[in-house]
Chain A
């Protein structure tokens, strides 16, 4: 009795702690001010840039991550653990480290950047830098999920298809991927959400320029210094998206294939 009461109090306090700040965002702005700030160029530019870059990043992550996850789920080879650890690394790395690492590699005097510089290719301060930062930090979310879903696919189906003469490619495309579909989609959604929220690595590596590298989180940080309404509006949009993402993942993963 006392224990359950204590649990209830702890739960209530914790829920309040999480909910109150989020709700406060909604209370600090009138619906009119919210709607009018949605038409401001800084907000519109940030919204479209964020959606374009996060979508491109997610596509890149899926294209590169799916074969990698499939190989690591199905084949045991020397160094598999190392590959797994490396692909997981960006989850634990602070974004500041990711930003600095990207600068050291692709910056104008970076390990790769200095050679690109010879050809007049500059990645820093461009939308490409934003995408690189997002791919770097968001890829583990997809790859982990994809590998786990591939592992739950029963090998019987794949073997049956192989004995019936299907090529490896056909098996992957017609059997394994469709059976792992729910996990792949939820992984891609999580990866998209992480890319959308990326801040630290972006501001360090890509800089902050409206319409070119200023994504939603950077625009929130910037407008906070002057136009608080724009900052709150962008935050509300991100809260709504995050909520939708978590719900979508829950729905997708609940469904059985």
Chain B
């Protein structure tokens, strides 16, 4: 016993490591008479899909919907590494296409189902008096946008490019606006507080990123369609899903009236099936 102590310690350590590794993977548990659907969902849909899952379970007592919410890139990597899931809901077509290319998806089921557009937000008391995009190039306006590597920052730059190409605004407008940018954030969650505290005068984020609570602190101004950049969210069933029929009925629910109502409430624009 004495001699085995270090060996036991090593064994215990290895077991802990193994345990952590196993816990990191997702497993689909089946209880008799009940089907579990595992839905890998982009993090930006956390609120909306949690509600949709509850609504779906209330209508289908024999189905349990388990969500894994994470960045689309992370979820894609997990699927490529063999994670078991039934449905993948991606915030970008890029990651869905990669999985389709790798043969991980049931290609006929993959479809864009959601649009997410950019919105201009200002503090409710609007100290800089901003009424729209045309005010963003005024000297001294403090603007916060995303870094070029995060989607909402990338789309913001695309939007300013579109405006620069339009003679109504022109390249000088874009330069003046970019000069007013005081901070480039990596997450929308750190943008809203900066406006709420009055540190910044305006920001450009995804329409859906502004929660109902946020609307007590910031005002959302719509961006005209001709300049707006719409992100498309695709979803689809995995090739190795054991419950394709149930998965199809869940997707039908997401895209049906109940699912669409919830998604609209969260600021998304559902794409008709």
Q: Which residues of A contact B (CB under 8 A)?
A: 2, 5-6, 9-10, 13, 103, 107-109, 122, 124-125, 203-204, 207-210, 213-214, 221-223, 225-227
Contact = CB atoms under 8 A, between A and B. Distances in A.
Nearest to B127: A108
B184 interface: yes
B198 A109 contact: yes
Contacts of B184: 207-210, 214, 222
Contacts of A221: 186
Contact of A2 (B2, B142, B147): B2
B199 A107 contact: yes
B242 to A, nearest CB: 35
Contacts of A107: 197-199
B149 to A, nearest CB: 3
B183 interface: yes
A222 B183 contact: no
B21 to A, nearest CB: 16
Interface stretch (B4-12, B46-54, B99-107): B4-12
Contact of A207 (B5, B9, B144): B144
B194 A207 contact: yes
Contact of A103 (B9, B185, B199): B199
A226 B186 CA distance: 11
B142 A125 contact: yes
Contact of B183 (A10, A103, A209): A209
B3 interface: yes
A122 B140 CA distance: 11
Interface in B1-39: 2-3, 5-6, 9-10, 13
Contacts of B147: 208, 222, 225-226
A225 B199 contact: no
B10 A108 contact: no
B183 A6 contact: no
A2 B144 contact: no
B199 A108 contact: yes
14 contacts: A2-B3, A9-B9, A103-B199, A108-B197, A108-B199, A125-B142, A125-B182, A203-B190, A204-B190, A213-B183, A222-B147, A222-B149, A222-B186, A227-B149
A204 B9 CA distance: 43
B271 interface: no
Nearest to A109: B198
B179 to A, nearest CB: 11
A6 B5 contact: yes
> Which 3 residue pairs are nearest across A and B when measured between Cβ atoms?
A207-B183, A226-B149, A125-B182
Given A6-B9, A208-B185, A125 B3 contact: no
B217 interface: no
Contacts of B235: none
B58 interface: no
Given A6-B9, A226-B148, A208 B183 contact: yes
A207 B186 contact: no
Given A10-B9, A108-B197, 4 more contacts: A204-B190, A207-B144, A210-B184, A222-B149
